[in-house]
Amino acid sequence: MADRYDVVVIGGGPGGFRAARVAARRGASVALVEKQYLGGTCLNWGCIPSKALLAAAHALLAARHAAEMGLDIPSAAPNWPVIQQRKDAIVTGFRKGMAGSAKAHGFNVIPGRAVITAPERIEVQGESGNTSLEAGKIVIATGSETTLLPSIPVDGRTVITSTEALSLPSIPASMAIIGGGVIGCEMACVYAAMGTQVTIIEALDQLCPMTDQWVGRLLEREFKKLGINSLVSRKVASVDTSVAPARVALEDGTTLNAEKVLVSVGRRAVVDETVAALNLRMNGRVIAVNDKLETSVPGVYAIGDVVGTTYLAHGATAEGDVAAANATGADERMEDYDMVPRVIFTFPEVASVGKSERQCEQLGLSVTVGKAFFKANGRAVAHNALSGQARVIRDNATNNIVGITVVGEGATEYAPLASTLIGKPERVTKIIFPHPTVSEVIEDAVLDAVGPVLYGPPGL
């Protein structure tokens, strides 16, 4: 006999776990199937372990620059085994916390690999045997995996992915990072701070190509201060691991040597035989869904990386809220993906919400861009965090704020504040920014963009 549930969620990452919790809180009987660890890629091999390493790197850099603030710290050197132990302890702690949260919210976590055999039937392949489940509704949250390059085989020792990069046994003397996107740039900051000679190789013309060009240029300049060599508009032809260090050959004929070669060219949705029986409509390599997160099969929803909308943990949780609500009788929709904050935890950090300048140009919008700089902000200067700026985009036709980007230390913490300012410019007059705080760069950029609208032309 199959166990019957109102909702079965496949995948225990941020989106899947949120969907299970919301559905359970709405009174549904819920099972969450996870093939490996609760938390998925984000907790175990992504967001959380990388931030633990970045936190250590940030503290290390702060110690090295302490003399600039009048502090004498005799030495600042990384204790890599302790850094790794702390990272692992953080991950394990949150894993246990999620198991406790599932119990507290009243849904079952079933370990194993879920294979959908029919729109309402799932076989869970576990270590101790198979379990049959019947589901009133299904939420697919199977996530994504690292994109590999056929021409550059990963061996897990010399040529590695971000998974191995998070747990290297020692700090390498040198590292070549193929791909200057979010993961590549974050790992570059970690290892550069630890003393590794890092080179980023990016095929497109800037680091973090999904951002506006000024962001990529600013990051490239700041990375140089960390000792990171950024090679943009360059492609890797081959990697020779028969020599030590490995030899990386670029298409333009230049070569460089690296002890480790990190392949970081993006992620792709995990859509395999586990859901093949549904014959889902696809949008390229990702599952096609509507704004209610419904797939082409009634009663089946999909969220997170598997639908390819944001490839962000918080994007997946937002979709989990919507899918779980709809699977339990509501009528919710994902309305505006531009409002999902886009964050990068580099040195300095990057946070964007709303439209980018590039998007505005592509849409043919006439805009005014307001700017404010960290070096003119009292708190930022006091903290020796002078690098960065905030930009606010105003649509000249409506005078509405349509986008905000902040680059600088702690920028990711300001994304929720930035989100509240998207829309009518009068909203900024309702917020009193405490002084002195770094958040005032957002206020200054907003006023630079919408000042004439709110207060009239200068001099009047």
Domain ranges for the chain: 3-146+268-337, 159-265, 348-454
Q: pLDDT confidence of 382, banded at 50, 70, 90?
A: very high
Strand 174-178 and strand 197-202: the pairing is parallel
The C-alpha atoms of residue 246 and residue 258 are separated, in whole angstroms, by: 5
Does residue 460 register a pLDDT over 60? no
Tokens representing residue 305 in the block: 């990386």
pLDDT at 427: 81
What's the CATH fold of domain 159-265? FAD/NAD(P)-binding domain (3.50.50)
pLDDT at 36: 95
* Mean pLDDT, rounded, for 234-245: 97
Does residue 422 register a pLDDT over 70? yes
Report which of 27, 13, 88, 15 is spatially closest to residue 323, judged by C-alpha positions: 15
The C-alpha atoms of residue 16 and residue 40 are separated, in whole angstroms, by: 9
Residues 51-71: tens digit of each pLDDT: 999 999 999 999 999 999 999
pLDDT at 424: 87
Tokens representing residue 280 in the block: 């889902």
The C-alpha atoms of residue 169 and residue 293 are separated, in whole angstroms, by: 41
The C-alpha atoms of residue 441 and residue 406 are separated, in whole angstroms, by: 9
pLDDT at 77: 94
Does residue 112 register a pLDDT over 80? yes
348-454 matches 3-146+268-337 in CATH topology: no
Return the sign of the alpha-carbon dihedral for residues 112, 308, 315, 266: positive
Residues 153-187: tens digit of each pLDDT: 999 999 999 999 999 999 999 999 999 999 999 99
Does residue 5 register a pLDDT over 70? yes
Does residue 459 register a pLDDT over 70? no
**Average model confidence (pLDDT) for the chain?**
96
| Whether residue 435 lies in the annotated active site | yes
CATH superfamily of the 3-146+268-337 domain: FAD/NAD(P)-binding domain (3.50.50.60)
pLDDT at 75: 85
pLDDT at 41: 96
pLDDT at 1: 65
pLDDT at 458: 65
CATH superfamily of the 348-454 domain: FAD/NAD-linked reductase, C-terminal dimerisation domain (3.30.390.30)
The C-alpha atoms of residue 324 and residue 301 are separated, in whole angstroms, by: 9
Q: How many Cβ atoms are within 10 Å of 82's Cβ, its own excluded?
A: 10
Tokens representing residue 199 in the block: 């080179």
* Mean pLDDT, rounded, for 102-122: 96
pLDDT at 455: 77
pLDDT at 428: 83
Of the two residues 223 and 431, the one the predictor is more confident about is: 223
Q: pLDDT confidence of 336, banded at 50, 70, 90?
A: very high
Amino acid occupying residue 152: I
Prediction pTM value = 0.95
CB 112 within 8 A of CB 35: yes
pLDDT at 451: 84
* Mean pLDDT, rounded, for 213-223: 98
Rounded (10°) angle between helices 47-64 and 80-105? 140
Tokens representing residue 12 in the block: 């225990």
Catalytic annotation, pick one of 105, 314, 383, 435: 435
pLDDT at 356: 97
